[in-house]
Structure 1
């Protein structure tokens, strides 16, 4: 698990290779990742946007931007957490992701960015 705190919002990431959804012979490797967002501030915040940078070990990269996460724009009260699971496909057995969440502090509408720590996507058989 990797963790990072930005402006009082803690992001933790766990990853799992998904062999049942992967097809290595066709250069298709699927990974799931679980994100935990913990609000360590004294204010209620809302996740408005996400911006992902996805890197494949063959040198390709892509960006994904959009509203919310998995169709939600969660509101997170002080001391509370929000968890979700999503996925990413790669064309090689090793890659990484990192990014940012666009957040809004609901008390005054102040917008700020929270860094998502870089995490590795590695199929288990690649580690042998």
Structure 2
């Protein structure tokens, strides 16, 4: 067999190019399963993952999601409630958690400026994929700029994120 000059390096470059495409594809799927929103200095980050073993055992599609709340503002905030809307692949409501449902995982975290709170929870949908969105009801415990805002409440948006199998 006769080799052409540069043939070996071309193969290496192709391997690297395909590896890069696989990484980009994985990143795109991760991005689709994630969301980030900032409301009044509270950054809400979400990422979901499909739980294959639980899905098989329960006969439905089970997803776990991780929520990170990061207080990037100057006010001390307290999570007092939540609201969720879970949609199936057809856009039909699979499940809801009504607005002002108390806390998250039995907690009402208080976040001073710079602090984070993270928790995991889960949901299931009968279709292979779905979408989830909602909000957290937050109370200003201590307002840095105007004490008259102490006790004020607002909804911290949770942008829609996809529930996708691998």
TM-score over 0.5 for the pair: yes
C-alpha RMSD over aligned residues:
1.5
TM-score, normalised on structure 1? 0.91
Aligned length: 123
TM-score (norm 2): 0.71
Greater percentage in helix: 2
Q: What does residue range 37-76 of structure 1 map to in structure 2 within 5 Å?
A: 37-61=69-93, 62-65=95-98, 66-76=101-111
Which aligned pairs between 1:8-87 and structure 2 lie closer than 5 A? 8-23=41-56, 26=59, 28-61=60-93, 62-65=95-98, 66-87=101-122
Other structure's SS at 1:22 match = helix
Runs of at least 5 residues in structure 1 that lack an aligned partner in the other structure: none
CA positional deviation for 1:23: 2.4
Higher relative contact order (CA 8 A, sep 6+): 1
8 Å CA contact 2:79, 2:137 repeated in 1: yes
Indicate the structure (1 or 2) with the bigger Cα radius of gyration: 2
Moved over 4 A (4+): none
Give how far 1:63 is off: 1.6
